[in-house]
Amino acid sequence: MISKALSNRKRVLAGVVAAAVLAAGFAWRVSLGVAGTPAARTQGQGSESASALTVQVVSAETQTWPQPLQASGALAAWQEIIVSPETSGLRIAELLVDVGSTVRRGQLMARLADGTVKAELRKQEALVAQARASLGQAGTNLRRAQAVDVAGALAPQKMDEYRANEATAQASLASAQADLESARLKLSHTRIVAADDGVVASRSAVLGNVVNAGAELFRLVRQGRVEWRAELDARQLANVRVGQGARLVLPSGMNADGTVRLVSPTLSATTGRGTVYVSLAPGQGAQAGQFASGTIDLGSRAAITLPQSAIVLRDGRSYVYVLDDQQRATSRVITVGRRHGDRVEVVSGLEPRWRVVASGGAFLSEGASVTVASVDARPAPAGGDR
Report the mean per-residue pLDDT for the chain.
Answer: 81
Q: State the Cα–Cα distance between residues 103 and 89, nearest whole angstrom.
A: 26
pTM for the model: 0.61
Q: What is the pLDDT of residue 349?
A: 85
More confident residue, 50 or 322: 322
Q: What is the pLDDT of residue 119?
A: 93
Q: State the Cα–Cα distance between residues 64 and 80, nearest whole angstrom.
A: 41
Structural domain boundaries in the chain: 2-48, 53-65+302-375, 69-79+224-300, 81-198
Looking at the domain that runs over 69-79+224-300, which CATH code has it been given? Answer: 2.40.30.170
Percent of the chain past pLDDT 70, that is, above it, reads: 82
H helical segments located in 81-114: none
Q: State the Cα–Cα distance between residues 196 and 192, nearest whole angstrom.
A: 12
Q: State the Cα–Cα distance between residues 180 and 113, nearest whole angstrom.
A: 19
Q: What is the pLDDT of residue 294?
A: 92
Mean pLDDT of 228-257: 91
Backbone angles phi, psi at 137, to 5 degrees: -65, -40
Angle between helices 115-148 and 156-188 (to 10 degrees): 160
Asked whether the predicted pLDDT for residue 243 surpasses 70, the reply is yes
Residue 15: pLDDT band by 50, 70, 90 thresholds? Answer: low
Looking at the domain that runs over 53-65+302-375, which CATH code has it been given? Answer: 2.40.420.20
Adjacent-strand bridge partners of 86: none
More confident residue, 283 or 122: 122
Asked whether the predicted pLDDT for residue 381 surpasses 50, the reply is no
Q: What is the pLDDT of residue 330?
A: 86
Containing 286, the helix (H) or strand (E) segment is none
Asked whether the predicted pLDDT for residue 77 surpasses 90, the reply is yes
353 contact partners, CB below 8 Å, separation of at least 6:
59, 380, 381, 382, 383
Residue 374: pLDDT band by 50, 70, 90 thresholds? Answer: low
Asked whether the predicted pLDDT for residue 217 surpasses 90, the reply is yes
- The highest-confidence range among 1-10, 237-246, 300-309, 351-360, by mean pLDDT, is 237-246
Residue 257: pLDDT band by 50, 70, 90 thresholds? Answer: very high
Containing 198, the helix (H) or strand (E) segment is strand 198-203
Q: State the Cα–Cα distance between residues 250 and 37, nearest whole angstrom.
A: 75
Q: What is the pLDDT of residue 284?
A: 86
Please, what sign has the CA dihedral across residues 28, 34, 38, 43? negative
More confident residue, 21 or 335: 335
Mean pLDDT of 277-282: 91
Residue 140: pLDDT band by 50, 70, 90 thresholds? Answer: confident
Q: State the Cα–Cα distance between residues 381 and 81, nearest whole angstrom.
A: 68
CA count, 13 A, side-chain hemisphere, 211? 31
Mean pLDDT of 57-81: 88
Asked whether the predicted pLDDT for residue 17 surpasses 50, the reply is no
Q: What is the pLDDT of residue 151?
A: 60
Q: Counting Cβ atoms within 10 Å, is residue 306 exposed (0-12), middle (13-18) or buried (19+)? A: buried
- The C-alpha torsion from 366 through 371 and 376 to 379, rounded to 10°, is 60
Q: What is the pLDDT of residue 149?
A: 66
More confident residue, 247 or 352: 247
272 contact partners, CB below 8 Å, separation of at least 6:
233, 234
Q: What is the pLDDT of residue 144?
A: 80
Q: What is the pLDDT of residue 51?
A: 61
Mean pLDDT of 54-63: 84
